[in-house]
Amino acid sequence: MPMAADALEAELREAFPDAEIVIEDLAGDGDHYRARIKSPAFAGLPRVRQHQLVYAALKGKVGGQLHALALETSAPP
């Protein structure tokens, strides 16, 4: 069962409450999303570690309920 964009955003907001989050449905099928997340939690972390934090927040849904997720992560200046 695909994951709705609002459900994806809600999970990310729970993990990163102070973040700017933009979700884009790339294929219109509820399975392929781009998430742009700007959070102070990412400050000083390499991009790989930022992405690991996002995957951990989604608790194993990427690759299952969520087929594909393109991530763009950053910390505010």
- Cβ atoms within 10 Å of 62's Cβ, excluding its own: 16
Q: What are phi and psi of 37, to 5 degrees?
A: -130, 120
Contact 71, 37 (CB under 8 A): yes
Residue 40: what residue type? Answer: P
- Tell me: domain 5-74, CATH 3.90.1150.10, correct? no
pLDDT in tens, 24-51: 999 888 888 999 999 999 999 999 999 9
Residue 65 has pLDDT above 80, yes or no: no
The model's pTM is 0.90
Sketch the domain layout of the chain as residue ranges. Answer: 5-74
